[in-house]
Chain A
Amino acid sequence: MSQRMIKFMSISIVMVIGYFLAACGASPTAAPAEPVQEEAATTEEPAAEADPAEAVSEEEVTLTFVFWEWGPDARLEWEGISEGFTKENPHIKVELLAVQGPNWGSYLEGVATLIAGGEHPDIMLVATEGVQFLVQQDLILPLDDFIAQDQAEVDDFKDDIAPVMYNAFNVDGKQYMFPYAWNNMVIYYNTDRLAEAGLEPPSADWTRDEFLEMAKALTVDEDGDGTPEKYGYAWSNGELFPSAMPWIFANNSNILTDDYCSVQVTDPDVIEALQFMHDLLYVHKVAPEPIGFGDLFNLFQTGDVAMFGAGRWPLTTLVPAGFEAFNIQYWPGNPQRKTEFGIAGFPILQVSEHPEAAWKLVKHLTRVDVQEKMIGTEDSLPSNIPARRSVAAQMENFPPENAEVFYSALDDNAELVPAPVRFNEMESIFLRYTSLIFADEMGVEEAMAAAQAELESVVSCN
């Protein structure tokens, strides 16, 4: 091989190595496990209404903001909000860091990987499921000092939200976040299927027994072979929030004690709720085996499934598809109704070098005009419900007809999804055993006795 060839190869290899090193240096988000995309959504263009003199006097700051990119709409939403914020605060740019994943649990995994990879976000989106973990790891700042600075603004916000939401982010007497968006569990029903079966829509005070009767009436064995083709009800068993928890809450029970220190999955009311779900599958045969939400939304539109439980997120699929034959109702009580809810907010991270600027962004996110972006349009509705009651009231202008059910359910009897420090582990254990119950391979009592033993090793306050 000629000298020229050797020289050429040497230069090429040095360039390749140089490229790799440069890439590693430039992208601290190259986390080992979770697919994370980074994109700066900044705007340097000062707003017309911003005071130029003030802008010049303040220090230039770039805030790193981590959000859950559950779909393309999420990015658009945050780009819009961050651009609006920078227009009003020209010295503060917002760099968006997207973490993808199918649910809040996987989002939290992505964020942890991101931080372990050396990224130091200033502010991040967090749901109920991750709060205790972040507090225990001492990763987020209590907001109490900031709140004292701007008490009037905070009070204005507090007066416009359900108290249960504000209190949900208070850990050991310290307020770590403000609620931004939330979801609760309601029952979606296909109005065409109800009309075909000659059924009246469920009333606000319907009970679990009435639900069961309706599910039976909506289950159809078209060819008479003993197995239905159309089902009255279906659920997804991929997550704790939308599967068994609403039925457990409806039984006025919970899988953990209120302080998240003890496990109580062997509580008779928990057992009874799970037995009820099992019987929907194998005794009453009104539900198909648990199915993912994506398929569930399709089957709901085709009428193969007449009812299912969810929050506001199905609207992101049903409304753009032009599907209108549906409505929602409170979760049926047994006998008293209760709704399950979960919230998302924005803590400021301990590592933030710009907590004051981050606080400005936190306050910005509580504003009416910013929360109004969650209302949506005729063609596209966001997946969350705004925290502000006055803003959420505007949802009544859009489908479903009973949209007021979402917020009003919070006022009468609401329960936060159980979220201990080791939420992911707790959820995984519980779902592993319920999957055996729903496969009819393990009795409810036996499964919960085994789950109790395992859960006690991950849920504790000692």
Chain B
Amino acid sequence: MAKIEQISMTTPTLIPPKRTAMSAQKRREAITAYLFLLPTIIGFMLFVLGPMLGAIGLSFFDWNLLSTPEFSGTANYQALLHDIRLGTIFLSTLKIAFSTVFLNVLLGLCFAVLLEQKMPNLFRQFFRLSYFFPFVVSVSAVALIWTFLMNKDLGIINYYLGLIGIERIGWLSSSRWAPVSVVIIAVWKSLGFNVLVFLGGLQTIPKDLYDAAEVDGAGGWSQFRHITLPLLSPTTFFLIVINLINAFQIFAEPYILTQGGPGDASRPIVMYIYEQGFRFFNLGYASTVALVLFVIILLLTLLQFKLSERWTFYQ
């Protein structure tokens, strides 16, 4: 007992300080903050969390939209393991997604840096508009025009390639080129957004860092390598995360351009989920595949956050 008392006398007190009552002012501020958050919370619960929980539930049922759902245990998960198309479709998705992200970020950075160079303001505005315009037009309308341009035998692209001796390419009809075409359209469509975000990032880099580097004799490439790239790393990280999530959900471009074909060569997983759910009325199985996609995107995003600690530099 004496020993205990001794310890208690020598050990600093760990009892937390008494919580003081929140002042009326602070309470009002807290309520205001929650009110600001409320629409987002309600929206999230109604349109994200609710459907997500619904999808988890549905994955244990057999439901064709019109009949009463029947509990099927793990049948949908077993079907998933035996689905011979799923591997090819996931592979197509991965190829399309990573290529799209890589090109979007790389070209977005290049064009943003070029747009930051000295040039007449009119040109700058023209180029900015040119890059951003595809981002705001309807993907369906644009994809329809691309189908005409990319037709192997009657399309304009192959006509001009033919003039320089290149044989006709099956942009939309060959397993080799159809995914490439999807990536080209997807990058063309979303490049403007990447350029815009990179431009924003570039404009936050203090000018005096470049002035100091110049005084120290650093050339253009050296400045880009040691100032621009590190200070743009949070922007780059943001764009990689956003682009990857979007790229895994790509749908309209392949749906209109190639219908996922030939075979499953350009069929992304989201298109497969849509077909299973709303074309073939296998809502339970579609939910199961959707959950797998959710887990993959979640893991990839977490991995990126983990890896980003090594290369993202915050001022």
Contact = CB atoms under 8 A, between A and B. Distances in A.
A115 interface: yes
Interface in B182-206: none
A145 to B, nearest CB: 24
A442 B259 CA distance: 18
A432 B65 contact: no
B154 A109 contact: no
Given A6-B28, A13-B35, A289 B152 contact: yes
Given A6-B31, A295-B148, A304-B154, A424 B279 contact: yes
Contact of A289 (B65, B151, B277): B151
B278 interface: yes
B175 interface: yes
B281 A112 contact: yes
Given A112-B65, A227-B153, A435-B262, A1 B32 contact: yes
A116 B275 contact: no
Is the interface on chain A under 10, 10 to 19, 20 to 34, or 35 or more residues?
A: 35 or more
Contacts of B36: 9
Main secondary structure of the interface of A (DSSP, over half): helix
B contact face: mostly helix, strand, loop, or mixed: loop
B147 A432 contact: no
A16 interface: yes
A377 interface: no
A45 to B, nearest CB: 37
5 contacts: A290-B173, A294-B144, A424-B279, A435-B261, A441-B175
Interface in B56-78: 64-67
B280 interface: yes
Nearest to B171: A289
A436 B28 contact: no
Contacts of A433: 263
Interface string B246-281: 000000000000011111100000000011011111
A9 B261 contact: no
> For chain B, which range describes its interface: under 10, 10 to 19, 20 to 34, or 35 or more residues?
35 or more
Given A9-B35, A112-B65, A289-B152, A425 B279 contact: yes
A425 B277 CA distance: 11
Interface in A403-462: 422, 424-425, 428, 431-433, 435-436, 438-439, 441-442
Given A289-B170, A291-B154, A292-B147, A425 B280 contact: yes
Given A115-B66, A290-B173, A441 B28 contact: no
A34 B153 contact: no
Nearest to B29: A1
A53 interface: no
A105 interface: yes
Contact of A432 (B38, B151, B153, B264): B264
